[in-house]
Amino acid sequence: MSWKKILGFIGLAIYGVWTLGPYYLTVITSFKKLTDVFSIPPKIIPYADFVPTLEAYQRIFSTRAAWTFVTSLIVATIATIIAIIVGLLAAYGFSRFSNAPMNDERSFFILLTLRMLPPFAVVLPIVTYWVFMGLIDTYFALIWTYTIFSIPLAVWLIKGFIDEIPRSVEDAAVADGYGFGARFRKIIIPLLGAGLAATVALVWLFLWNEFLFALKVAGGKVITYTAYLPQLRLGQRTLWNVYAAMGTLGSIPPLIILAAFRRYIIRLYLGGR
Amino acid sequence: MPEIKVENVSKLIEGKPIVNNVSMEIPDKSFFCILGPPRSGKTMLMRLIAGLEMPDKGRILFDGEDVTALGPVERRVAIAFQDFALYPHLTAFDNIASPLKAMKLPKDEIRRKVLEVARYLKIEHRLTHYPSELSGGEKQRVAIARALVKDAEVILLDEPLVRLDYKIREDMRAELYKIQKEIGKNVILITGDPFEAMSLGERIAVMNEGRIVQLGTMEDIYERPVNVFVGRYFGVVEMNIFDGEIVKMNDVASLRTKIFEIPLKNARNLPEGSVKIGLRPEHMSVLELAGKREVNFRGKIVLTEVVGSDTIVHIDAGLGELLRVSVPAIYRRQIGEEIDVGFDIENLYIFSSKDEKLLARGGDLIG
């Protein structure tokens, strides 16, 4: 083995411990009793240092905490579906009707601006808006807010994929006798294929992980698992083991998605499309 | 079986006319060519005839019926695109079957028709392959098969040969002609290659800057190009154009250039003054190979290019412009050598130097 390779392995090992170490601590913490969480020296090896217990998980499934995952799932999924449908059509418009009035970099930039602003900059007016509408802390408000914030991302990513489909292929479909809807179903969507799937995954992941709007637009009756975490207290104590158990459960869908789409998601991040 | 009529059709993009007030008629069951340089509007004109675009002005009639607002399917038009435009996610079979599936024909009928056209175009052994696995020639055949399979009345071919290799192009060109004769449909070929138009088109529309400059048979256009543009463009080797002057003294008229003077008998209709003279390279000859011609002069060789089995000799004869002479043989000479070349007067073209329109051919002026 050459020195380069050995150095490479050492580098990757350090990086691995750096990134996976905290995640490991989260996972083992979820199997500890609360009293074991803060012991010094830290207990890091299951069975040797501490006896694993499902106490934290039992607590999740016997309280409202379990339902918060369902809420997250419902909200993220519905918002993703709407954002992808709207984003697909908008991206198609941006890509194909480039001669249309106002279809230029400026309108595209304005669309993306919504995404670039820090959420803290816009959360207050949005909350005010939903309070005014009398819809604060409802599924509708959270899904609507999520949809609005996901559309720019969807448009941006999907437009790149549509740009790659030659117009002549679509012209051929027109000549073959396919209407707009059939063209979308039979030509555009199959050709977007994995790229569209990766976009769906990425949009969904952002929403699954979202915290601020979940807490402020909803966070009462309707509460996602991310917004529920700060409530995990017993008197003055934070229930860190339950916290860790929710983090572990919450990380399962992203891990599955990342494993399934890693090639395409890397492409999305590298190329912006 | 439509006779196609294009009436005063214009199409603007961002305010600029891409197709500018075009009118023409395409007779039924003919092989028609739309020829033009890049950006001349030929592809847009094809898209308008196909129904892929709506004209901003004018109308399009098929057999006297206004089809301006109809799409390609209602017009019964099929198109083979320049880049083939095959569906990359479908096999060759499904690509060809696509228009039939859109018509919702029964499965076994689709299968029968696809196999029939695939056999006709000799691609039946490639039907299970995806476009990325096919060669350029095979992709083109699949694209043409997709156009033929649906029994369209008009088949539009948008520069079908440019993406093919030289040798396959030759075969395909011959085959296109054969196909048109066999199926007896209206075939409209869009091309930027004058040679292709000359060898395929029964009638040819030459386009430039969004307009049809000339429409006629290959012989019409070759023998009487309406202006300098068509003269230069419509030929295998570009026409020589140089300055000359019509001089009239008493009743005697002559055409004078820097190096020769030709007496003209019937020059009554020609205005006095400067003109542009056109002379096709293939109408000139090297005297040591072809013997004396009516007008002969000497020139110095600047360059010789061998093109296929011909040689293009560029000579400087003192006309201000270099002359191209096409020799139907491999002809090798040193650069700088002087040779005698000549031409016959009937092959001259005389264009106005103001609007570059054809004024007369040499044959009109001496007979």
Tell whether A203 and A110 lie within a shared domain. Answer: yes
Q: Answer yes or no: is pLDDT of B161 > 50.
A: yes
Q: Answer yes or no: is pLDDT of A272 > 50.
A: no
Encode pLDDT of A39-89 as tens digits: 888 888 888 888 889 999 999 998 888 999 999 999 999 999 999 999 999
Other beta carbons within 10 angstroms of residue A74's beta carbon come to 15
pLDDT average, residue stretch A3-19: 93
Q: Answer yes or no: is pLDDT of A273 > 50.
A: no
B56, B70, B83: best to mutate for the A interface, most A CBs within 10 A: B83
Q: Which residues of B touch A (CB under 8 A)?
A: 13-14, 47, 50, 52, 71-73, 77-79, 81-83, 85-89, 98-99, 102-103, 146, 150
The SS3 call for residue B217 is coil
Tell whether A89 and A20 lie within a shared domain. Answer: no
This model of the complex carries an ipTM of: 0.80
Which among B71, B83, B146 has the least Cβ separation from residue A174? B71
- Predicted confidence at residue B7, as pLDDT, reads 92
Question: Which residue in chain A is spatially nearest to B155 when comparing CA positions?
Answer: A175
Tell whether A167 and A103 lie within a shared domain. Answer: yes
Tell whether A72 and A7 lie within a shared domain. Answer: no
Q: How far apart are CA A211 and CA A203, in angstroms?
A: 14
Tell whether A42 and A77 lie within a shared domain. Answer: no
Tell whether A145 and A205 lie within a shared domain. Answer: yes
Tell whether A159 and A254 lie within a shared domain. Answer: yes
Mean pLDDT score of chain A: 89
The SS3 call for residue B167 is helix
Encode pLDDT of B94-134 as tens digits: 999 999 999 999 999 999 999 999 998 889 899 999 999 99
Three-state SS annotation for chain A: CCHHHHHHHHHHHHHHHHHHHHHHHHHHHCCCCHHHHCCCCCCCCECCCECCCCHHHHHHHHCCHHHHHHHHHHHHHHHHHHHHHHHHHHHHHHHHCCCCCCCCHHHHHHHHHHHHCCHHHHHHHHHHHHHHHCCCCCHHHHHHHHHHHHHHHHHHHHHHHHHCCCHHHHHHHHHHCCCHHHHHHHHHHHHHHHHHHHHHHHHHHHHHHCCHHHHHCCCCCCCCHHHHHHHCEECCEECHHHHHHHHHHHHHHHHHHHHHHHHHHHHHHHHCC
pLDDT average, residue stretch B225-252: 90
Query: Are residues A176 and B146, on separate chains, in Cβ contact within 8 Å?
Result: yes
Which residues, 6 or more positions from B260, have their beta carbon under 8 angstroms from its beta carbon? B295, B297
- Predicted confidence at residue B367, as pLDDT, reads 61
Question: Which residue in chain B is spatially nearest to A169 when comparing CA positions?
Answer: B85
Tell whether A44 and A87 lie within a shared domain. Answer: no
Tell whether A48 and A63 lie within a shared domain. Answer: no
Mean pLDDT score of chain B: 90
The SS3 call for residue B226 is coil
Which range has the worst mean pLDDT, A184-188, A261-265, B60-64? Answer: A261-265
- Per CB-CB distance under 8 Å, the chain B contacts of A168 are 81-83, 85
Q: Answer yes or no: is pLDDT of B210 > 50.
A: yes
Tell whether A245 and A153 lie within a shared domain. Answer: yes
Give strand pairing partners of B157: B80, B189
A162 min Cα distance to partner chain B (Å): 14
Other beta carbons within 10 angstroms of residue A97's beta carbon come to 10
- Predicted confidence at residue B339, as pLDDT, reads 93
Which residues, 6 or more positions from B288, have their beta carbon under 8 angstroms from its beta carbon? B339, B340
Encode pLDDT of B27-84 as tens digits: 888 899 999 999 899 999 999 999 999 999 999 999 988 999 998 989 999 999 988 9
Which among A172, A177, A193 has the least Cβ separation from residue B85? A172
Tell whether A199 and A159 lie within a shared domain. Answer: yes
Give strand pairing partners of A134: none
Which among B81, B103, B146 has the least Cβ separation from residue A168? B81
CB B11 within 8 A of CB B55: yes
In the numeric block, the tokens 């007030």 are attached to: B21
| Domain extent at residue A19 | 3-53
Integer angstrom CA distances of residue A22 from A15, A244, B255, B258, B337: 12, 11, 95, 91, 86
Name which residue leads in pLDDT, B110 or A194: B110
Domain boundary among A53, A75, A95: A53
**CATH number, residue A104:** 1.10.3720.10
Q: Answer yes or no: is pLDDT of B15 > 90.
A: no
Tell whether A43 and A74 lie within a shared domain. Answer: no
Which range has the worst mean pLDDT, A48-52, A234-238, B212-216? Answer: A234-238
Question: Which residue in chain B is spatially nearest to A176 when comparing CA positions?
Answer: B99
Domain boundary among A13, A34, A53: A53
Which among B72, B87, B146 has the least Cβ separation from residue A174? B72
Query: Are residues B89 and A193, on separate chains, in Cβ contact within 8 Å?
Result: yes
In the numeric block, the tokens 């150095």 are attached to: A7
Orientation angle between helical segments B107-120 and B136-148, nearest 10 degrees: 130
Q: Answer yes or no: is pLDDT of A235 > 80.
A: no
Q: What are phi and psi of B191, to 5 degrees?
A: -150, 155
In the numeric block, the tokens 């007779």 are attached to: B27
B328 min Cα distance to partner chain A (Å): 41
Encode pLDDT of B16-37 as tens digits: 899 999 999 998 888 999 999 9
For residues A60-72, one letter each, b for 16 or more C-beta atoms within 10 angstroms of the residue's C-beta and e for the rest, the string is beeeebeebbebb
Domain boundary among A36, A53, A70: A53
Q: Answer yes or no: is pLDDT of B1 > 70.
A: no
For chain A, what is the domain count?
2
Q: Which of A248, A194, A199 is nearest to A60 (CA)?
A: A248
Query: Are residues B98 and A173, on separate chains, in Cβ contact within 8 Å?
Result: yes
B32 min Cα distance to partner chain A (Å): 20
